Amino acid sequence: MSTNAFVEASRARVRVRGLVQGVGFRPFAYGLASRFALSGWIMNDESGVLLEVQGDAIAPFLSALRNELPPLARIDALEVEARPTERLERGFAIAASAHTAKVSTEIGADAAPCAACLEELFDPRDRRHRYPFLNCTHCGPRFSITSALPYDRASTSMAAFPMCADCAREYADPRDRRFHAQPTACPRCGPRLSMPIEEVLAHLRSGKIVALKGVGGFQLACDATNADAVSRLRRAKERSGKPFAVMVASAATAARHVTLAPEEQRAAQDRSRPIVLARRKASSALAPDVAPDLAWLGVMLPSSPLHYLLFHEAAGRPIGLGWLDAPVDLALVMTSANPGGEPLVTDDAEAARRLDRIADVIV
């Protein structure tokens, strides 16, 4: 049934297909149901999202469902059918996910920290201040932590970290940005780094190669201005003449090394944090061996809170977000943690075994 034609029935079942798991779609629909005074329920299943709504404002609800999506969501199809009313139903609920058939939906990609999370990260008054694994409904790891669909915390690597009382309260509060945010965590209940940020930065500053456990596996990092460190990394990776990509704190720092056209800057700031090829500046202080004999350089911005914290430490731990508008005296070669031709290292024990001849430090 067309959503535009769906005006008279007082209850509808809605099948939503597309990128609707791991993107805050259920909390979003919950908020819309409250706004339009509708009862019903919503769940994840193998085909996407299934929901039923009942009340007098189904048509505007469906219009808002399609047109006011969360930033990471995408609707490919919206299928609506009339259903008999439920006389005793009260309120709208997020129901348990259904496991009934072969999976035919997808999970969202990992997304760089949103502005709201970055504000918390650099606010000394916030309980997640400088927490390397903060996230919310609109950002953070998704694909990399998910082992099965439908998407729920029990099907992610976060299942090993039960929420503390404060995180559980946020998770259950429809008014909170972390309402039903499956990867949510804090310093009290979530993952922790094996080494303080300041120590990691000190190793990088001293010319060491650091294996850093990222969202999707280990990365190898070194100071991109240290010619010896870059050359050692190139030899250890057996990379020959292939260029390395460089991570910088922001577009302001990137401008020290490359000329970013407006469209290149927009691409670099996309939540997927791609590597963007830009014209290298002759004045760049990067080691020549980063991208030997090339006029172009691959640059990327931080894709996780942990990355941001390394640059924040280098900037002197300023409060707020203003420091990102000025250049930071740090640029890092950031590359996958694997010897040439081998698969990416993702496991801690595997890292100790396979990266010992490449990395000076494993975090």
Phi, psi of 149 (to 5 degrees): -120, 150
- C-alpha count within 13 angstroms, C-beta hemisphere, residue 136: 21
Q: According to the model, what pLDDT value does residue 98 have? A: 82
- Partnered with residue 277 across adjacent β-strands are 298
CA distances from 298 to 87, 138, 274, 284, 332 (A): 60, 27, 9, 13, 12
Position 101 scores a pLDDT of 66
What pLDDT is attached to residue 341? 78
Q: Answer for the pair 136, 182: CB distance below 8 angstroms, yes or no.
A: no
Specify the amino acid at residue 144.
S
Owner of token pair 């120590």: 199
State residue 81's pLDDT score: 95
Q: Tell me, what DSSP letter sits at residue 108?
A: P
**Neighbouring residues of 130: CB distance < 8 A, sequence distance ≥ 6:** 121, 122, 197, 309, 312, 317
Q: Are 121 and 128 in contact (CB under 8 A)?
A: yes
CB distance 62 to 38 below 8 Å? no
Instruction: Specify the pLDDT at position 2.
Output: 46
Using 50 as the pLDDT threshold, list the residues of the chain that sit under it: 1-7
| pTM across the whole model | 0.89
Eight-class DSSP state of 74: E
CA-to-CA separations, 59 to 18, 30, 50, 138, 252, in angstroms, rounded: 20, 16, 17, 26, 46
Q: Which amino acid is at 214?
A: G
Helix (H, G, I), strand (E, B) or coil at 91: coil
pLDDT score, position 7 = 46
In Å, how far from its chain's centre is CA 329?
Answer: 25
Question: How far, in Å, CA of 253 to CA of 201, rounded?
Answer: 17
What's the pLDDT tens digit per position in 148-195? 888 899 999 999 999 999 999 999 998 899 999 999 999 999 999 999
Cβ neighbour number for residue 39 with a 10 Å cutoff: 18
Q: Cα–Cα distance between 345 and 353 in angstroms, integer?
A: 10
pLDDT in tens, 91-115: 999 999 987 667 778 888 999 999 9
Amino acid at residue number 228: D
Query: At residue 86, what are phi and psi to the nearest 5 degrees?
Result: -110, 105
Neighbouring-strand partners of residue 51: 14, 42
Sheet containing 11-19: order of strands:
74-82, 11-19, 48-54, 39-45, 92-94
Exposed / middle / buried, residue 181 (Cβ in 10 Å: 0-12, 13-18, 19+): buried
